[in-house]
A and B are shown apart, each in its own frame.
Chain A
Amino acid sequence: MKTHYSGLLALALVILFSSCSKNDDPTPTPEKTSNYSVLGVIDNAYYLAQAESLSEGTLSFVNNGTQLDADQAARIISAGDYLYSLDYGTGLLTQLEANSSGGYDAVNEINAGLSVGTNRPRYKLADENTIMVYNVVVEPVYNETNTDIVDNVCTLRLTSVSIPSLTISSLTEFVIPQTENAKQGATIGYHPMRVDGPVIAGNKVYFGLMHLDMSDPTTPPPFRKPKQTGLETLVFDYPSFENGTIIESDAAAGHTGGYRAPSMHVDEKGDVYQVNWFISGNSFDLSSGDKTVITRLKNGTYDASYLFNISETLGLDTNIGANGWFYVGNGIGYMPIYLEDEGAYSGANTWTVAKIDIYNKTAVKLDLPLSGLFSYENGIVADGKFYMAISPIGGESYVYEFAPESAGATGFTRGLKLDGGNVIVEGVY
């Protein structure tokens, strides 16, 4: 019965697969009706719509765009001619292709979540041909009498998805070692609870780490206080995923995995640049000496010769926070920054963007309207410009075009006008 079924399944998959292909060309070049995609969220529903241009015109989600399957949320990756949407809550990963009516058609689908044993996996484009899907599970270890938790075992499960074929490699399981630094002498102090933001550079793959403070039960993960000392990153050999190790730096403190914006980028020389994340549960919890920095990782280790102190370089009166950044090229990047003096880090107009130069270690706060960028996901580089959406609460929402060559605080222009209001634009692709 089982074999019978497998045969049927295989047959059905062949039919499904062949019927989804637009033509028999082995390297299909689908007609792209649009250059850009915009992700909008309204009242917990996720919509993806095409935009002809990001620098001008208007884009509204009113009667426009494709609703994405989103049990709890949808996460988008753009790579090559396709977009990929992960349904967080079911774990289904759908490959999407722009159609001629302003929306998207599903081309192919895999159960990415099942490959790592969860319906709520995380994923990221690690290089142009690879999406990584991963999940960390923290399993408590009890004492002999089974009454108290004495430790936690943190297991990473990850698979690589080759794109655009959407084929999945076998599962890698890895117990993340807990450093002395992470435990801080406590039996169950901080422990790794999430990895994110993987990048592949040369023969290494780097995963940022997020630590959970088990000693404070009042704030749920991941908004526990970040680890107060040190930075940690998980490194594997690539593509073997062997020799997993934790590398450490005492250059600053915090999480290294980013939140939704990516924390790490690989530059043209193959070096990895990483921002730390400090935003804690209820307030901006900088201890003295803590700061927002960019560190460099090379050959599977932190490069102690490089440190870019963003906090100090910006020289603002207020403390700043960050949880990710976007890289344009030639050392230039854009980083959403939280201005602590403006108020709460979420649900308020307390964020702006800094233009940074990681080679020359310069940073300038741009004169943008303040908005909420804590959970902003994605900006893109096109024709040498950087584009991201800025949606001030109670104000008008636009995609902004940033000029990397401009040195001043006004090196941007307003581009594509968006719906605004509670149509939250989380990313452009």
Chain B
Amino acid sequence: MEKIIIIVIALCLCFVGKSVAQSNQKTISGTVLDSNGNALPFSNISEKNTSNGTTSNEQGEFMLKTNSPNKAVLLISYLGYTTKEVTIEDFSNARNLVFQLKPKEHHLNEVLVGGKSVATKIEQQGFVATSIPIKELQSQSVELNQVLNQSAGIVVREQGGLGSRVNYSINGLEGSAVRFFLDGIPLDYFGSSYSVSTIPVSQINRIDIFKGVVPVELGSDALGGAINLVTKKNLKNTLEIDYTYGSFNTHKVSASGYGRANNGLTAKVSAFYNYSDNNYKVWGSDISVTNPETFEVMRGITAERFHDAYQSKAIKTDFGVTNKTWADHFFVGLLTSSMDKEIQHGATMIVPFGEATYSQNLLMPYLDYSNRQLLKQKLKVKLFTSYSGLNRARVDTSKNIYNWLGEIEPVQRVLGGEQKRTLNKLKEEVWMNRVNLNYTFSSMHKLVVNHVYTDLTRTDSDPLVTQKTEGYYAPQFFNKSVLGVSWENLWFQHKLQTTLFYKRYNYSAAIKLAETVAGETNYETVSAKEKSNGLGFAISYTPAKKITLSFSVEQASRLPEANEILGDGLNVLANPNLKAESSLNTNLGIDVSLSEQRNSRVRINGNVFFRDVKQKMKLVTASDPALLQVVNFDKVQMSGIDGRIQYYYKEFLSIFQSLAFLHPVIKTDSDEFGNNNGLDNTRMPNTPFFQANSEARLNFGNLLQNKPAVFVYWRYGHVGSFYRHSEKYGSENKDHIPAQNIHSVGTGYTFPKTNLTASGAINNLFNAQAFDNYAVQKPGRAFYLKLTYKIF
């Protein structure tokens, strides 16, 4: 570890020296935008009649050095846009320039343009990644979860309607193995009120999904993969608002604005409000009522969910300066969010609840700093530091027993509590720091260092639980750090890209344990620590312009979560000996563009993967049969294949098809007690094995020409059936999750010259009964209307 730091420092010093030697150069920097003020990433900036040139980064920003003594002529070009020629005469004023390019005719958006979009670039770094540009979806009434679920190899399993609990898996690794980021900042401690389930699609520019092998910039213990939400980088003043109304009394409002004064003072605000009654109909044998006299059970009724309302709201404000010599941006930010949720049922729909609720609020001030101009523009620094105070409250005290008709049964519970009697309040305070350093040695070699440190203090109280140990009520401490160093290179005229990286994971926890001897309870603080190392490599090779091959491998880790190591103070014991879960993740991918013709284009990507998971954390029965404990136990091997075909005909038609197969096999030959494991060499239970998604979209008119534009789309999602428990045992009445087939359609219309778009969607067009989880039905047919208005 220390060696690596020394090497990094030595290399930095070495190149500082080198750049000092070249100090007679002049620097021009700026941003390339389209006519709507959106960044044009990877646009070309060259000095006319010289070989000097560069490309802009993902935010459209660039930095160019020139040896010209008094003036420079720049050519700024981007495929599909008219090239701009600019003469720079005053180098002292040549920083933070803004260049807007006008589109040529017949080019609708970045996906349709023949050149590589950011999305394509990200997909071709060697990591197996999918990058989904959201631009096209922003005026549709879709959720980010729906967008993710359409992607090959990603399974989003929802526990119900809007705001319900969601489980994500990437190539079979699920739950805490999948980590989320917002512009590279871990979302782990933002709370469920500010998450993929709540952030409106209109505030996101792009979603990057990394499968299995994750670049160090996303600093977390992402065992199975990472999902990075990239927000819009508006560089001119904007204000946008959208509103969605739909079935089940659903209202969604989102607003975002950006303003910059000439002196550099900048303000960014984004806000949203989501509400739904979620009163959709559920039916089938899991929905029953009981005759209150005879207690006979009548199954198979249709009921409307009656206690499932949800609301979430958030305001995120950033205030600071941008485009200064000392900072590209420096923001003081504040995120405040909250959510309230009624709980309709537990793990299955069989027993309905009528009063239990869950709520959460978060207050998170932060500082966000970025500077790309250090050490003669070779060093980029991003710093983020935040404090978050999160409060969670569960209320479940009712003595009433509800049935699926929403009625209160004549018999009451003696002690309250529909799911679990509780008035639990939990407070989590988290300091998070992220440091990201990016040092460019030349245009071919780059060193990235990323460090994320989080420190969590948790206190919790529940006046109703008399058996809970005092130790649990006391503050519990947990911190973790993830350091990543990567060395990125381009070789052979950019045909070969390699990234070698190292990650180091640490956690420590202070667990307060209680032991009662002869009626006297004594407390002892036990500390738990664990270090683990990860190494990875990603390579991509582009032998011809239309083909890219990639291979990546990472020894990845997931550290225990606070809950897993500290226990829940009641039924789940703390485990100070918990180790990190590990997985050797391997991917082999291919990306082919079959035709670069002007009218039609086909792109195919495929990915074969293998995951070898060890020390997988598992909740098992502890030494006392009534107690549980998380231990490192299971081994699982997963292999699979996923792929996607995209077809475009001009800007008029696009068709996507994706497929994913997963073969997850348990490789644990004995159980935690030492019994032979009958599940060894069988496929994992409760895991979808096959998934297919189709999408077709038609665009009429041309948005860029300020003419009316219409789009129509159809989407289809299929998930194959699977068993809830082992596929091996039992033959009758086995719990299974049936195959789901969901069709959705939508359309939209952009009014000419008004910046107003109206769109409509019908989700689950055929009202199919669909389940992601056993005996938990998802919403049926639903209608949505959305208005998007760009005020300026």
- A interface with B by C-beta (< 8 Å): 5, 9-10, 12-13, 16-17, 40, 42-45, 47, 61-69, 71, 89-92, 101-104, 109-112, 114-119, 137-140, 149, 155, 157, 167-168, 171, 214-223, 281-282, 344, 346-348, 372, 374-375, 393-394, 419-423
Which of A43, A139, A222, A394 is most buried by chain B, counting CB atoms within 10 A of its CB?
Answer: A43
List chain A residues, Cβ under 8 A from B297. 92, 109-111
- B678: nearest chain-A partner, CB-CB: A421
Which of B290, B405, B413, B627 is most buried by chain A, counting CB atoms within 10 A of its CB?
Answer: B290
**Can you pick out 26 interface pairs between chain A and chain B where the beta carbons lie within 8 Å of each other?**
A13-B294, A16-B296, A16-B298, A43-B679, A61-B730, A64-B730, A66-B730, A66-B731, A67-B730, A67-B732, A71-B348, A104-B732, A111-B295, A111-B296, A139-B414, A155-B414, A217-B468, A217-B514, A218-B516, A220-B624, A372-B673, A393-B674, A394-B675, A421-B677, A422-B671, A422-B677
Asked if B84 is at the interface of the complex by the 8 Å CB criterion, the answer is: no
Complex Cα–Cα for A78 and B285 (A): 25
Asked if B121 is at the interface of the complex by the 8 Å CB criterion, the answer is: no
**Distance to closest chain B CB from A73 (angstroms):** 11
Asked if B469 is at the interface of the complex by the 8 Å CB criterion, the answer is: yes
Q: B620-648: contact bitstring with A at CB < 8 Å (1 yes, 0 no)?
A: 01011111000000000000000000000
**Distance to closest chain A CB from B485 (angstroms):** 41
Indicate if the CB atoms of B295 and A117 lie closer than 8 Å.
no
Complex Cα–Cα for A317 and B292 (A): 56
Asked if B519 is at the interface of the complex by the 8 Å CB criterion, the answer is: yes
Q: Which of B126-134, B223-231, B253-261, B721-729 contacts A (4 or more CB under 8 A)?
A: B721-729
Further 17 A-B residue pairs, CB within 8 A, beyond A10-B291, A65-B730, A282-B623? A9-B291, A9-B298, A13-B291, A13-B298, A40-B729, A42-B726, A42-B729, A63-B730, A67-B730, A117-B412, A140-B466, A218-B514, A218-B521, A219-B624, A346-B625, A347-B621, A393-B673
List chain A residues, Cβ under 8 A from B413. 117-118, 137
Indicate if the CB atoms of B726 and A43 lie closer than 8 Å.
yes
**Distance to closest chain A CB from B35 (angstroms):** 59
Complex Cα–Cα for A112 and B297 (A): 10
Indicate if the CB atoms of A171 and B732 lie closer than 8 Å.
no
Indicate if the CB atoms of B295 and A168 lie closer than 8 Å.
yes
List chain B residues, Cβ under 8 A from A393. 673-675
List chain B residues, Cβ under 8 A from A40. 729
Indicate if the CB atoms of A171 and B623 lie closer than 8 Å.
no
Indicate if the CB atoms of A420 and B295 lie closer than 8 Å.
no
Asked if B415 is at the interface of the complex by the 8 Å CB criterion, the answer is: yes
Asked if B347 is at the interface of the complex by the 8 Å CB criterion, the answer is: yes
Indicate if the CB atoms of B626 and A139 lie closer than 8 Å.
no
Residues 503-524 of B at the A interface (beta carbon under 8 Å): 514-516, 519, 521
Residues 564-597 of B at the A interface (beta carbon under 8 Å): 570-571
Asked if B733 is at the interface of the complex by the 8 Å CB criterion, the answer is: yes
Contact of A216 (CB < 8 Å), options: B516, B621, B674, B675: B516
Complex Cα–Cα for A89 and B624 (A): 20
List chain A residues, Cβ under 8 A from B405. 5
Contact of B733 (CB < 8 Å), options: A67, A140, A221: A67
Indicate if the CB atoms of A114 and B411 lie closer than 8 Å.
yes
Indicate if the CB atoms of B289 and A67 lie closer than 8 Å.
no
Indicate if the CB atoms of B289 and A9 lie closer than 8 Å.
yes
- B interface with A by C-beta (< 8 Å): 289-292, 294-299, 346-348, 350-351, 401, 405, 409, 411-415, 466-470, 514-516, 519, 521, 570-571, 621, 623-627, 670-671, 673-679, 685, 724-726, 728-735
Complex Cα–Cα for A422 and B347 (A): 25
Indicate if the CB atoms of B676 and A421 lie closer than 8 Å.
yes
By Cβ-Cβ distance, the 4 closest A-B pairs, closest first, are A421-B676, A137-B414, A45-B725, A103-B732
Complex Cα–Cα for A89 and B516 (A): 31
Complex Cα–Cα for A10 and B296 (A): 10
Indicate if the CB atoms of A220 and B726 lie closer than 8 Å.
no
List chain B residues, Cβ under 8 A from A422. 671, 673, 675-679
Indicate if the CB atoms of A115 and B411 lie closer than 8 Å.
yes
List chain B residues, Cβ under 8 A from A346. 621, 623-625
**Distance to closest chain A CB from B651 (angstroms):** 52
Complex Cα–Cα for A94 and B585 (A): 46
List chain A residues, Cβ under 8 A from B621. 346-347
Indicate if the CB atoms of A42 and B414 lie closer than 8 Å.
no
**Distance to closest chain A CB from B688 (angstroms):** 18
**Distance to closest chain B CB from A120 (angstroms):** 10
List chain A residues, Cβ under 8 A from B671. 421-422
List chain A residues, Cβ under 8 A from B292. 114
List chain B residues, Cβ under 8 A from A114. 290, 292, 295, 401, 409, 411
Indicate if the CB atoms of B675 and A421 lie closer than 8 Å.
yes
Complex Cα–Cα for A420 and B729 (A): 13
Complex Cα–Cα for A215 and B467 (A): 9
Indicate if the CB atoms of A110 and B295 lie closer than 8 Å.
yes
Complex Cα–Cα for A420 and B350 (A): 32
> Given A42-B726, A103-B733, are A171 and B678 neighbors across the interface (CB < 8 Å)?
no
- A170: nearest chain-B partner, CB-CB: B293
Complex Cα–Cα for A250 and B357 (A): 48
**Distance to closest chain A CB from B549 (angstroms):** 40
- B298: nearest chain-A partner, CB-CB: A12
- A136: nearest chain-B partner, CB-CB: B414
**Distance to closest chain B CB from A396 (angstroms):** 10
Complex Cα–Cα for A13 and B676 (A): 46
Contact of A102 (CB < 8 Å), options: B289, B299, B731: B731
Complex Cα–Cα for A348 and B401 (A): 40
Which of A167, A168, A217, A223 is most buried by chain B, counting CB atoms within 10 A of its CB?
Answer: A217
> Given A110-B297, A114-B401, A422-B671, are A375 and B730 neighbors across the interface (CB < 8 Å)?
no
**Distance to closest chain B CB from A362 (angstroms):** 31
List chain B residues, Cβ under 8 A from A281. 624
